[in-house]
């Protein structure tokens, strides 16, 4: 039976990919010629293609000015890189089984692929009962003893409880409210269920498109997003990927069961390569679709080039940002192998509470006040601009407030006056301004800073890394090391001239390869070239927001007594 391409995509179960399709009828771009990246692809009747995946290419958005309950009106087309951060509105239509959820909702290994649902009724398992309304987080789908099930967990009384739910589990399952914020691209990739639309609310804009924005001026309402898909396919005797939009007037027939899928090349993403077992490395692969970008090594990873992939691993990076006051500041991921050296730069602290967070046992924190503060209590110190302090410790102090004694948190300091020191107490809720006085002139390697100091930490490159052709960090007026993160990498080199190897990020590099051989003679990789990776503003927000979810943020500063 023949279907339109759009209907085929909506009925497709992603777990059954790849699928082989035969073009039944339809004309595309006059003469059935489809051009992409300068390549021509004839989609004539009888043509056979292997569909390896599909993704959302763009979004048709219906605009609602007030909230999701109002009438949606005008429709606009939004590219996936349209700026802004959005909150996902929970779908009010229930799912009737776990099988329907796995068929329509993206569940995967990344931080976005863990959707949350609740059941309207108790679910009794062998050793555990899930209460109605209790949040169920879906982690992964796997097959155990021939039965497909979903690995899940719930948190009860601050304790994690893991369990599996079979696909046959029926009930009424509703999406939980999601308090995270996402870019439009993340929503398109992970948060739009198949055969359903998605309502989102604009949370805030990263930057604006000005007069060219398709959305109304100062828009803060809701959007209902309808996806237009792009099919990724492989053709016989071709080594590149074909991209076909789902709204083409093309009819197709699924002939997978009567066709040898092995006669096509098998493209793999970097995520696919990373999920293979460590025993399968090293391997030789050919790039079917290279990444964009002029930065090394991305400019070397061109389509058709053969590479050796030596191993997969997790590696530490320091997330750093330029110290600039304008919006054009750049963000970097710096490897621990960086050979340059850094000198300390003064840190700024907006409150007394920040001084308590930053103090360490290694050295005494010396600061100068940049903002005056008048204490409402005679027992506590009033600060003038230019006052210098050595920060001691946090403690409690008794103050008189409206005729009654009250205990509040304070920061014990020593005020420096000429050659004398005076013990003073600053209220922890004090909103002032302080800048650090740096006495340390030592030059540090990156690993030393991470070991000896608490981040965030301000520095400037004093000795650039001579192994890097152009050290972008050396040109920065100052850097703030914000946090240390762990990320997934593949170690690769050129197959034809393996002079040096490179670490490539698995989740930030869009690239497709096909494996040529797993019988590789060169087991020991050549010397690894240090690469400082510059990340976009959107990638920076994602790293800051998700990498350290296991770390609890510091509590808010105490409020001023009322």
pLDDT at 559: 55
Give the pLDDT confidence of 330-385 residue by residue, as tens digits.
999 999 999 999 999 999 898 888 888 888 878 889 999 999 888 888 888 888 99
Question: Does the structure show a pLDDT above 90 at 404?
Answer: no
Listed in sequence order, the residues at least 6 apart from 525 whose beta carbon sits closer than 8 Å to its beta carbon are 282, 308, 310, 311, 491, 493, 498, 501
Pull the structure tokens for residue 541.
Answer: 């927000």
Question: Does the structure show a pLDDT above 60 at 279?
Answer: yes
Question: Does the structure show a pLDDT above 60 at 41?
Answer: no
The pairing of strands 222-235 and 198-204 is antiparallel
Q: Which of 33-42, 209-218, 464-473 has the highest mean pLDDT?
A: 464-473
pLDDT at 199: 92
The strand pairing partners of 512, in sequence order, are: 269, 289
pLDDT band at residue 161 under the 50/70/90 scheme: very high
* Mean pLDDT in residue range 1-8: 82
pLDDT band at residue 207 under the 50/70/90 scheme: low
First to last CA, the chain: 74
536-544 long-range contacts, CB within 8 A, separation 24+: 536/331, 537/206, 537/207, 537/331, 538/183, 538/185, 538/206, 539/331, 539/508, 540/319, 540/321, 540/331, 541/85, 541/183, 541/206, 542/183, 542/186, 543/319, 543/333, 543/485, 544/319, 544/482, 544/483
119/76: higher pLDDT: 119
Contact 159, 128 (CB under 8 A): no
In sign, the C-alpha dihedral spanning 256, 19, 61, 111 is positive
Tokens 């509040």 correspond to: 408
* Mean pLDDT in residue range 417-423: 88
382/262: higher pLDDT: 382
Contact 473, 463 (CB under 8 A): no
List domains and CATH numbers for the chain.
1-79+196-265 (no CATH), 91-176 (2.30.30), 267-345+438-561 (no CATH), 348-436 (2.30.30.40)
The strand pairing partners of 348, in sequence order, are: 435
pLDDT band at residue 548 under the 50/70/90 scheme: very low
The strand pairing partners of 42, in sequence order, are: 33
Give how far Cα 73 sits from Cα of 76, 223, 225, 364, 419, Å.
Answer: 10, 10, 13, 61, 72
pLDDT at 334: 95
Question: Does the structure show a pLDDT above 90 at 121?
Answer: yes
Q: From CA 340, how far away is CA 443, in angstroms rounded?
A: 10
Question: Does the structure show a pLDDT above 90 at 2?
Answer: no
Question: Does the structure show a pLDDT above 80 at 43?
Answer: no
Listed in sequence order, the residues at least 6 apart from 213 whose beta carbon sits closer than 8 Å to its beta carbon are none
């Amino acid at each position: 039976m023949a279907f339109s391409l759009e209907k085929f995509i909506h009925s497709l179960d992603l777990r059954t990919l790849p699928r082989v399709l035969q073009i039944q009828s339809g004309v595309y771009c006059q003469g059935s010629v489809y051009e992409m990246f300068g390549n021509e692809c004839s989609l004539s009747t009888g043509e056979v293609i292997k569909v390896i995946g599909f993704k959302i290419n763009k979004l048709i958005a219906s605009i609602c000015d007030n909230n999701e309950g109002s009438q949606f009106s005008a429709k606009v087309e939004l590219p996936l890189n349209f700026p802004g951060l959005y909150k996902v509105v929970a779908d009010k239509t229930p799912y009737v089984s776990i099988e329907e959820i796995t068929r329509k909702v993206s569940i995967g290994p990344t931080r976005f692929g863990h959707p949350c649902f609740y059941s309207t009724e108790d679910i009794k398992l062998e050793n555990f009962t899930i209460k109605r309304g209790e949040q169920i987080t879906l982690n992964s789908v796997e097959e155990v003893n021939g039965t497909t099930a979903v690995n899940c967990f719930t948190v009860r009384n601050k304790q994690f409880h893991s369990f599996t739910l079979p696909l046959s589990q029926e009930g009424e399952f509703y999406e939980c409210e999601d308090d995270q914020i996402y870019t439009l691209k993340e929503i398109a990739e992970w948060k739009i269920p198949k055969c359903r639309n998605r309502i989102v609310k604009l949370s805030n804009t990263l930057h604006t498109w000005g007069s060219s924005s398709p959305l109304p001026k100062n828009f803060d309402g809701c959007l209902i997003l309808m996806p237009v898909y792009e099919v990724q396919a492989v053709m016989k005797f071709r080594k590149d990927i074909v991209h076909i939009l789902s709204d083409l007037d093309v009819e197709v027939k699924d002939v997978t069961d009567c066709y040898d899928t092995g006669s096509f090349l098998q493209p793999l993403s970097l995520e696919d390569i990373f999920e293979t077992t460590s025993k399968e490395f090293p391997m030789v692969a050919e790039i079917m679709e290279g990444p964009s970008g002029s930065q090394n090594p991305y400019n070397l990873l061109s389509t058709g080039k053969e590479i050796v992939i030596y191993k997969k691993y997790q590696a530490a990076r320091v997330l750093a940002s330029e110290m600039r006051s304008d919006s054009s500041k750049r963000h970097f991921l710096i490897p621990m192998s960086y050979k340059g050296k850094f000198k300390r730069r003064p840190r700024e602290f907006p409150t007394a509470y920040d001084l308590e967070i930053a103090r360490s046992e290694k050295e005494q924190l010396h600061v100068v006040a940049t903002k005056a503060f008048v204490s409402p209590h005679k027992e506590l110190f009033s600060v003038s601009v230019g006052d210098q302090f050595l920060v001691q410790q946090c403690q409690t102090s008794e103050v008189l407030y409206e005729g009654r004694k009250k205990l509040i948190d304070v920061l014990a300091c020593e005020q420096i006056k000429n050659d004398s020191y005076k013990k003073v107490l600053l209220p922890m809720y004090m909103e002032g301004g302080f800048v650090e006085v740096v006495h340390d002139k030592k030059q540090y390697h990156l690993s030393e800073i991470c070991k000896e100091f608490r981040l965030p930490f301000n520095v400037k490159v004093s000795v650039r890394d001579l192994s890097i052709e152009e050290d972008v960090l050396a040109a920065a007026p100052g850097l703030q090391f914000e946090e240390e993160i762990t990320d997934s990498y593949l170690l690769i080199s050129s197959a034809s001239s393996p002079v040096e190897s490179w670490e490539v990020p698995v989740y930030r590099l869009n690239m497709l390869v096909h494996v040529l051989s797993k019988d590789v003679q060169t087991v020991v990789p050549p010397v690894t070239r240090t690469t400082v990776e510059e990340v976009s503003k959107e990638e920076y927000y994602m790293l800051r927001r998700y990498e350290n979810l296991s770390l609890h943020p510091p509590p808010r500063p105490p409020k001023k007594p009322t």
